[in-house]
Amino acid sequence: MKVATLRSDAQTMQETARAPAQAMIEIDHVSQRFETSGRQSHLALSDISLSVEEGAFVSILGPSGCGKSTLLYIVGGFVKPTEGVAKVKGHAITGPGPDRGPVFQEFALFPWKTVLGNVMYGLLQQGVKKSEADARGRKLLEMVGLKGYEKFYPKELSGGMKQRVAIARTLAYDPAVLLMDEPFGALDAHTRTRLQNDLLDIWDRQRKTVLFVTHSVEEAVYLSDKVVVMSRSPGRIKEVIDIDLPRPRKRADLLQNARFQKHIVDIEKMIDDRPEDM
């Protein structure tokens, strides 16, 4: 079991000037066992403890099936852990809430609603007035680079554009925490890079706490303050790595940066090392 305190240097300086930092997410000795019909029960997560400070960008890496999505679903309040407790801002998570915004592929856009309609949906559900939801929706679509696409329908958009709508839809209700499960996994390399940069821009401006699941070591290192490496089933935290690269980050600069490359090599080794652990 490893308890990690997640904090970036830039944040440390900001927080010293402001209020003391607090943990936004605390995962305390969480285990998850799934009862399945066709086979014996399956221990997906074993004794996970992790503390993520407010405003940190944290990525989770690990082999397929190690429980990354399950961990995100627990923080999202969609799965109740069989053991342990997950908290947001000190309160035990008992279900989904507007303080946590999921960007999961399973939560597809409504095909019958326009792009703007999709982004406004959650706001209208929360009782926000239509005129205000409309204005906020348009502003967010501009922020994610979709100005002019308000009246399009999801089927008329590329994969990258759909992901932008999904991000805008989640940002619309201003959650403190973004939970992102491989949001760029299905995109081509060029679109993926553009969305990574846009996400970093948004994060720079809004400093939300981000928990980001990915299979790409490079993506995790590029985006994150901390990278959590999980081991193979049952999922445990194998290592938490500080990514000590300056911000704002520019991918083109980082590709020349020896520390960036070293982080990637070290983490890849960590994942490849001792396969019996993974």
Q: Shortest distance, CB of residue 219 to ligand ATP, whole angstroms?
A: 14
Is the Cβ of residue 157 or residue 278 nearer to ligand ATP in the bound state?
278
Closest CB to ligand ATP among 67 and 77?
Answer: 67
- The stretch among 19-27, 57-65, 82-90, 113-121 that binds ligand ATP (CB under 6 A) is 57-65
We find the least distance from the C-beta atom of residue 43 to ligand ATP, in angstroms, to be: 9
Is residue 211 helix, strand or coil?
A: strand
| For the chain, the helix, strand and coil percentages under 3-state DSSP, each to the nearest 5 | 35, 25, 40
| Residue from 8, 70, 118, 231 binding ligand ATP (CB under 6 A) | 70
DSSP labels for 171-205? HHT--SEEEEESTTTTS-HHHHHHHHHHHHHHHHH
Contact pattern for ligand ATP over residues 217 through 236, marking x by CB under 6 A: ----------------x---
Interacting residues with ligand ATP between 94 and 133 (CB under 6 A): none
Which 156-185 residues touch ligand ATP, going by CB under 6 A? Answer: none
Between residues 96 and 148, which has the closer beta carbon with respect to ligand ATP?
96
Q: Are 212 and 43 in contact (CB under 8 A)?
A: no
- Give the nearest distance from C-beta 273 to ligand ATP in angstroms: 18
Q: Which range in 3-11, 23-31, 64-72, 124-132 contacts ligand ATP by CB under 6 A?
A: 64-72
Residue 77 in contact with ligand ATP, rule: CB under 6 A? no
| 34 interacts with ligand ATP by CB under 6 A | yes
Give the range of 67-75, 114-122, 151-159, 263-271 binding ligand ATP by CB under 6 A.
Answer: 67-75
Is 40 one of the binding residues for ligand ATP (CB under 6 A)?
no
Residue nearer to ligand ATP on the CB measure, 31 or 70: 70
| Cα–Cα distances in angstroms (integers) from residue 261 to residues 60, 112, 192, 206, in the given order | 18, 44, 19, 28
Distance in angstroms (rounded) separating the CA atoms of residues 227 and 209: 14
Alpha carbon distance 141, 16 (integer Å): 34
Among 48, 59, 67, 160, binds ligand ATP (CB under 6 A): 67
Torsion region of 233: left, alpha or beta (phi above 0 gives left; psi -120 to 50 gives alpha):
beta
* Shortest spacing between CB 65 and ligand ATP, in angstroms: 4
Residue 227's alpha-carbon distances to 45, 93, 220, in angstroms, are 18, 23, 7
Estimate to the nearest angstrom the gap between the alpha carbon of 98 and the chain centroid.
15
Nearest to 27 by CA among 222, 219, 179, 158: 179
Residue 152, interface with ligand ATP (CB under 6 A)? no
H-run or E-run covering 123: helix 115-125
Neighbours of 126 (CB within 10 A): 11
Residue 153, interface with ligand ATP (CB under 6 A)? Answer: no
Distance linking the first and last C-alpha atoms of the chain: 15
Residue numbers at the binding site for ligand ATP (CB under 6 A): 34, 36, 42, 44, 62, 64-70, 233
